[in-house]
Structure 1
């Protein structure tokens, strides 16, 4: 009867549906930036993510930009999405980008992590 009061769940894009089926995820934190700025920069040049400053989760966990990677075990398919987090609560999500394994490797190097591609 009061169906109009229910919160309608937004449909996921095709990229988001595909990313959710991939077997592995990895999360890294960056210093907080507005999601609109992140989307504008990455739509212009996806390698702009390399200019973002890494954040120490334990030092700045009240406000940070979480980057979530969804990827296949052979790194053949990698998706990246940003989430704005305040006190560990989700405050907004960016769109999802498909990236190559070289950019994925370079992002992880900023955090001292190595992968073999």
Structure 2
């Protein structure tokens, strides 16, 4: 099915996902929304890897690297959510602007 879709359309979709992810990371201050933005960035990179790997279907290097990125993203999401839960327990907020640490 991927052969029927032009590469330009896939790259435009990937650029849109990447842009939405960057905007979420930069503009939002809720920790979970920032994590979702990071996941969108990872998904945009995976889409590019799979789209470009169709040019060399024998080696499948893009699919294998994409699988590795998905595994790293899953581990990152689990660790990041655990950190967000601990921060919420300590500071009683998930808003990144309201988290204040003691200096000195």
> Which structure carries more helix by proportion?
2
* Higher-Rg member (1/2): 2
TM superposition score normalised by structure 2:
0.25
Q: TM-score, normalised by structure 1?
A: 0.23
Per residue, is there more strand in 1 or in 2? 1
